[in-house]
Structure formats: structure tokens, C-alpha cells
């Protein structure tokens, strides 16, 4: 990885909407002078540059579409200014604000808390939310009932984070009253908070801290994660701008006031930070049909699709349950209808009404057929189908990246286990930075495939089949 150059992840494919803008590669030298900042320079270049992080909330790509809280909010602001949006992803967290200082970005938005240390470097906009820190750990790890239980515990955080500052403050208090300090373990600046959380959930590290909204958002994907007590007072979250960009600060504050008043801000915020409404598997759901062999009210559509395209109708049922719990009117920012498809993708395939179970099934099976063509050379049926389901969940681009990672590491890219391992690596900053399509929530994709497959087997059993080689 080149340093001190910025690593700009080339995430925009031709399939992306024009409003997504472009991404630049910006070379920065140690003696670089500060570039012009403020509204005049933004309008002159015709681009608003967002400095952010490639993670599961600020900025990522799903099915070829750029998404994320900070991305969407910045896109609204760019539209208000009448300019395009460029996304700039520095190599590490520590570079986000230093690059803003150098004028290599206009706004920094990455779920940042406002701290005294950061205010020395930049100026912050009006807060868009308040966050307080929570301790998190894996089920089975000794619990933390209150702040004092952190004494003597080993807690992993990035040095350049508000979490580190809070742990140092608490550790000093413990020592002052004769209690053991906190064993603070420093993680790499390239790691996202959610990646450290995943290490906790996997049992590789014991504890970390995270802001409440990040904790809850990740608990939706990590069922064995325990979100513990509050360990800080509420802290404001805000965007940052260069200290010399006073007119830009005024414009951003006016924009935030407006989108709060219109409700646009709340709509974007709820997409990424409110767990309710996410498409989460209900593990306690069971087959409750009194009629033997019946799975859902939509079985006839699934069976018709099987006759036409060859996909086992019970696999389609497992996918539909995973996405919507068989609710034809299901809708979220991740998709609509029985199969949770993006409307744009459905229209591309010739299907407009995703609320119609027939059309939604036809759109999903058409898409699955296209995806499966990428794996036509995969010999084992289970591998081929699992790869197809994974591509359905996160997009074929990320599957291509994962198979390339597997191949580069001398693993068979046709084997689902190898690709699953590679997908999980693509959630790490060092792998995501080198991948064409950047970060993907790999562990969540792997869980999605495993859960769909487990339910598929249960549906097969419930309809009279027994396991063979599937």
C-alpha cells in the first residue's frame, strides 16, 4: 500500500447512477501546501469531496449501488450545491482529519465524535446526533455490569479514537483509588470499529468499546454479541470541515437544519442506525402449516419458477423467508418484495411491481439465473448454489473479489468454504483496500448463506426429502 498517498477505492462501476460522482487519486507529499478550501473552490471544480471510511455504515457498495449514511447525506448536500460528489477514502482513520487539514477533502464524515483533541485540528458542524459509549463482549465472557468492572480488563481500541481517550481517563481514575488500570490494547488505525466488534464476537479478543448506535447496528448481525453498560456521557456526532472554510461550515449547518425540518435527515438516519425494520432472520420461526408439504402461501409461484428455471422451489422459499418472512409488501432500504430486490435491478430485468408475488418471484429467479452463470464451471452443486446465494445477497462484484482473494492465496475459488473465508477477510481494511469493489460485510454474508442453506435443508426435510449430497 502506498503511503503517504491516499488509497482511493475504485468502487463505482458503470452500473452506478450518474449522481454517484467519481473518485480521484490524490497524491500528497510531506511538504504539500494546503489547497484552496471553501464553497468557491467546490463550485469551481464542480465537485464536493467527502472524506470518509469504507465500512458498513458510512460508505459501502451493495449490488453495485453506493450506499451509507454519510454518503447519502453528502449526496443530498452536493445536490443542493449543484455539484457532483466525490468519495475519498484515506488509508487509515488517522488520515481523515489530516487530509482535511491539507485541503484534500471538503468535508469529513465518518461517524466521528466531537472531541477536544479533534477540535484543535478542524471545526465541527452542528451535531446531527448524540452517542454514548458502551462496552461489548461475546456471550460467555465475564460480564461488565458497570464502569468499575472495566478495572483490570483487557480492552482493544484504536489509538486515534474517542474510545482510547475514555479508557485512559477511566484507567487514571481507577489507579487514583487503588484499583488496577485498564489493560488498553491498541489496534491498527486501518481497522473500523465494526471490525473490532466482529473480533470480539468471534472470541478472538475479549472487550472493546463502541458508540451505542454502532453497537446496536452490529448486534443485529452478530447474535452472540452482548452490548453492555454505558461507559461515557453522551457525545455529539458531527461532520468536520477545514478551519479556513467558514462559508462551507455555514452552508453545511444550514443544510443540516433544512433536512431535519423536511424529514430527509431522519429518513437517511433510520436506514442505517435503527435496527427495527432491517431484514433479520427470525431464528424462532417454524413451519406451522397444517397441510403437509406446504411452506408458504406463495409455494405455487416458487414451484412454477422451479419448472421454468430449475431452481429448487424450497431454496426459493428459504431465500424469500430470509428476505421478507414471506411478506410480499416488505420494504426496506435493502430491497422490496418477497425477495428483497432493489427496484432498479427488478426494472432492469423487466419487472416493475415487486409487491406482486408473481413478479417478485420471476424477477428474483431471473436474477439468480444470471448470477449462477458466473459459476457454471463449479462442479459441486452445493458450492455452486451457495456462491449464487452469496452473490444474491452482496452482489456479484464482491463475490468476484472474494474468489480472486481465494485464488491469490492458493485456495480453490470454486469451493464455498474458501470463498467464505475470503469474504470475511474483505471486511478487513488491508484486504478491502486492495479489492476492486472495496469493503463488504463478509461475516454477515457468510451467515446469510449459512442460514438460507440451513432453512433450505429444513424445508426439504419438511417436504419429505432426506439429505444426500446436497
Pick from 337, 273, 297: nearest CA to 58: 273
CATH number where 364 lies:
1.10.530.10
CATH number where 68 lies:
3.40.190.10
How does strand 84-88 pair with strand 47-51?
Answer: parallel
**281 assigned to some structural domain:** no
Residues 212 and 361 in one domain: no
Burial class (CB in 10 A: 0-12, 13-18, 19+), 98: middle
**469 assigned to some structural domain:** no
**424 assigned to some structural domain:** yes
Sequential DSSP letters for 122-166: -EE-S-SEEE-EEEEEETTSPP--SGGGGTT-EEEEESSSHHHHH
Residues 222 and 82 in one domain: no
Cα dihedral value 454, 455, 458, 464, nearest 10: -120
Distance CA 131, CA 125 (A): 16
**261 assigned to some structural domain:** yes
Residues 327 and 246 in one domain: no
Residues 122 and 139 in one domain: no
Residues 73 and 41 in one domain: yes
- Cα separations (Å) of 304 from 297, 308, 419? 13, 6, 31
Residues 78 and 204 in one domain: no
Number of domains the chain is built from: 3
Residues 41 and 56 in one domain: yes
The pLDDT score that the predictor gives to residue 205 is 94
**7 assigned to some structural domain:** no
The pLDDT score that the predictor gives to residue 27 is 32
**373 assigned to some structural domain:** yes
Residues 68 and 198 in one domain: no
Residues 63 and 170 in one domain: no
The answer to whether 234 and 130 are in contact (CB under 8 A) is yes
Which range of residues forms the domain containing residue 317? 299-462
Those residues whose C-beta lies under 8 Å from the C-beta of residue 86, and which sit 6 or more positions away, are: 21, 22, 23, 24, 47, 48, 49, 50
- Cα separations (Å) of 22 from 51, 61, 289? 13, 14, 51
| Residue 448 grid cell | 446469510
Pick from 60, 84, 83: nearest CA to 71: 60
The pLDDT score that the predictor gives to residue 2 is 31
Pick from 315, 297, 309: nearest CA to 363: 309
The pLDDT score that the predictor gives to residue 145 is 93
Q: Which residues pair with 331 in a beta bridge?
A: 336
**288 assigned to some structural domain:** no
The pLDDT score that the predictor gives to residue 469 is 43
Residues 68 and 152 in one domain: no
Residues 181 and 199 in one domain: yes
**73 assigned to some structural domain:** yes
Residues with pLDDT less than 50, the chain: 1-33, 276-292, 469-470
Residues 340 and 414 in one domain: yes
Amino acid at each position: 500500500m502506498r503511503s503517504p498517498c491516499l488509497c482511493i477505492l475504485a468502487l463505482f462501476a458503470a452500473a452506478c447512477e450518474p449522481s454517484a460522482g467519481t473518485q480521484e487519486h490524490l497524491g500528497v507529499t510531506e511538504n504539500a501546501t494546503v489547497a484552496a478550501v471553501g464553497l468557491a473552490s467546490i463550485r469551481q471544480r464542480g465537485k464536493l469531496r467527502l472524506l470518509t471510511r469504507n465500512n458498513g455504515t458510512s460508505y459501502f457498495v451493495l449490488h453495485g449501488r453506493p450506499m451509507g449514511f454519510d454518503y447519502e447525506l453528502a449526496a443530498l448536500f452536493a445536490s443542493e450545491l449543484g455539484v457532483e460528489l466525490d468519495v475519498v477514502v484515506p488509508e487509515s482513520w488517522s488520515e481523515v482529519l489530516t487530509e482535511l487539514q491539507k485541503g484534500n477533502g471538503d468535508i469529513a464524515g465518518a461517524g466521528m465524535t466531537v472531541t477536544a483533541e479533534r477540535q484543535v485540528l478542524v471545526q465541527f458542524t452542528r451535531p446531527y446526533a448524540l452517542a454514548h459509549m458502551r462496552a461489548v463482549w461475546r456471550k460467555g465472557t465475564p460480564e461488565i455490569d458497570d464502569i468499575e468492572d472495566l478495572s483490570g480488563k483487557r480492552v482493544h481500541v484504536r489509538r486515534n479514537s474517542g474510545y482510547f481517550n475514555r479508557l485512559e481517563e477511566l484507567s487514571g481514575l481507577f489507579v487514583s483509588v487503588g484499583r488496577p488500570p485498564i489493560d488498553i490494547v491498541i489496534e491498527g488505525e486501518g481497522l473500523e470499529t465494526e471490525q473490532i466488534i466482529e473480533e470480539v464476537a468471534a472470541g478472538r479478543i475479549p472487550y472493546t468499546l463502541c458508540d451505542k448506535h454502532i453497537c446496536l447496528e452490529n448486534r443485529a448481525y452478530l447474535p452472540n454479541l452482548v452490548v453492555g453498560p454505558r461507559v461515557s456521557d453522551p457525545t455529539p456526532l458531527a461532520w468536520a470541515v477545514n478551519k479556513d472554510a467558514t462559508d462551507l461550515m455555514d452552508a453545511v449547518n444550514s443544510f443540516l437544519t433544512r433536512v431535519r425540518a423536511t424529514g430527509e435527515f431522519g429518513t437517511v438516519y433510520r436506514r442505517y442506525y435503527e435496527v427495527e425494520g432491517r431484514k433479520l432472520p427470525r431464528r424462532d420461526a417454524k413451519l406451522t402449516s397444517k397441510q403437509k408439504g406446504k411452506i408458504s402461501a406463495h409455494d405455487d409461484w416458487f414451484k412454477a419458477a422451479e419448472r421454468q428455471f430449475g431452481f429448487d422451489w424450497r431454496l426459493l422459499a428459504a431465500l424469500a423467508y430470509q428476505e421478507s418472512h414471506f411478506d410480499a409488501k416488505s420494504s426496506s432500504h435493502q430491497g422490496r418484495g418477497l425477495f428483497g430486490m432493489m427496484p432498479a435491478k427488478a426494472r432492469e430485468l423487466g419487472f416493475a411491481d415487486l409487491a406482486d408475488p408473481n413478479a417478485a418471484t420471476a424477477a428474483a429467479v431471473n436474477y439468480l439465473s444470471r448470477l449462477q452463470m458466473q459459476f457454471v464451471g463449479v462442479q459441486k452443486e452445493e458450492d455452486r448454489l451457495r456462491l449464487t446465494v452469496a452473490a444474491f445477497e452482496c452482489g456479484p462484484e464482491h463475490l468476484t473479489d472474494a474468489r480472486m482473494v481465494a485464488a491469490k492465496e492458493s485456495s480453490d475459488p470454486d469451493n464455498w468454504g474458501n470463498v467464505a473465508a475470503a469474504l470475511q477477510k474483505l471486511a478487513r481494511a488491508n484486504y478491502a483496500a486492495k479489492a476492486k469493489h472495496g469493503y463488504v460485510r463478509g461475516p454477515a454474508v457468510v451467515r446469510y448463506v449459512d442460514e438460507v442453506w440451513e432453512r433450505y435443508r429444513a424445508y426439504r426435510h419438511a417436504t419429505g426429502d432426506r439429505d444426500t449430497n446436497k
